[in-house]
Structure 1
Amino acid sequence: MRKRQTPKSRNIPHLWLISDARNDAVLDSALRRLPRGSGFVFRHYHLAPAERRARFRALSRIAGKRGHLVIVADTAAQARRWGADGIYGPPGARPAPAPLLRIATAHTLRELGACRRHGADAIMLSPVFATRSHPGGKTLGPLRFRLLAAHAGAPVIALGGMTRRTAVRLGWPRWAAIDGLS
């Protein structure tokens, strides 16, 4: 299957940092250490709305100085209000209106199909390896990850237990981490 190449998907960074309650204390320095032009997904579901907005503002300033793409786990309207580059969410969400990117999450072939049908610009496919986010959970492993990624129809970002070492082991160009980059 040929991968869809839109102007938006050609600019998907290779390295992504994802925010979480457990890496919040080190996000400022982690964003500064990322190579220029990386991606940052701001989730911070654990914060109240006003605190979440303030934390987004602080982190997006740092990311902007480093030329990182900033994606928010929220609606397209919220992404526009906050000045984000795109949105992050489940496979069946609506496409993001231009120029916003939509990064979707998937764990199965069915979810990959939903991502494709709903116009995801890139897909975070997980969990590739064991992860603290889902202790003891089933992982895809390198072979199943590659088999699923071949059906994505959009750029695939490996997620789940990803570190520089596991990225080399997987041999995949795009990857994301919470702990692995914090």
Structure 2
Amino acid sequence: MARCYSVPVPNRHPSIPHLWLVSDARNDAVLEQAMARLPRASGVIFRHHHLSDGPRKARFRAISRIARRRGHLVVLAADVATARRWGADGAYGAPARLAQGPALLRLVTVHSHQELAAAHRARANAVLISPVFATRSHPGGKSLGVLRFHLLAAHARVPVIALGGMTRATARRLHTTRWAAIDGLSGESDKSPTA
């Protein structure tokens, strides 16, 4: 019976990268090295909420230059108008935050069927279904697991990116090629819980 949930999520939008490195205070010191290890044309989600506006914008510009030299897309955790103003390739966040604004790549985080429907209304180009597995970002938090991830992903009308506890090993376990991580793509062991 478990085999019926091991079908890979279809690749209906090949222009959406398969791997996404998510920036955070935890991986800032190794961010450049992590981007260099990503396959060309991967994605970087720039969060860096630990910085105030000026330093955050300066760090975003530095990371964007490096990422673009490697052919990576750079998406800013912000509303769509701010992402466009900063020169990002897209915006990342909750459906309500991304529902308005100019045409730009939208990556929307979802945790439930209700949020998935809201992501569709917000013109999401892809959804990050989270958290699939236990993460360091939210210790003790409830995760979806393989079955609930696939049940939710089956209702998505856009590409699905797995987030939460993702490493190369958990991506294989999940039977997906599209995934995002903080630690799992920053040089941490595949055996440790990641974000």
Q: TM-score, normalised by structure 1?
A: 0.92
**Maintained 8 Å contact 1:104/1:123:** yes
**Maintained 8 Å contact 1:102/1:120:** yes
| Structure 2 unaligned blocks of 5 or more | 1-9, 187-195
**Which residue of structure 1 aligns with residue 99 of structure 2?**
94
Give the partner amino acid of 2:99. Answer: R
Spell out, residue by residue over 1:11-65, the C-alpha distance to the aligned partner (whole angstroms, 9 max, x if none). 1000000011111111011011110000000011110111001100111111000
Q: How does 1:1-182 map to 2 (within 5 A)?
A: 9-92=13-96, 93-94=98-99, 97-98=102-103, 100-182=104-186
**Maintained 8 Å contact 1:95/1:119:** no
How many residue pairs were aligned? Answer: 176
Amino-acid identity (%): 66
Quote the offset at 1:76 in angstroms: 2.1
**Maintained 8 Å contact 1:13/1:37:** yes
Spell out, residue by residue over 1:54-112, the C-alpha distance to the aligned partner (whole angstroms, 9 max, x if none). 100111111000000100011222222221100001022315533x2000000111111
> Following the alignment from structure 1 to structure 2, what is the Cα–Cα distance between the partners of residues 104 and 97?
15
Give the partner amino acid of 1:65. Answer: R
**Maintained 8 Å contact 1:128/1:142:** yes
**Maintained 8 Å contact 1:128/1:141:** yes
Q: TM-score, normalised by structure 2?
A: 0.86
> Following the alignment from structure 1 to structure 2, what is the Cα–Cα distance between the partners of residues 48 and 164?
32
**Maintained 8 Å contact 2:99/2:121:** no
Runs (4+) of structure 1 moved beyond 3 Å? none
**Maintained 8 Å contact 2:81/2:102:** no
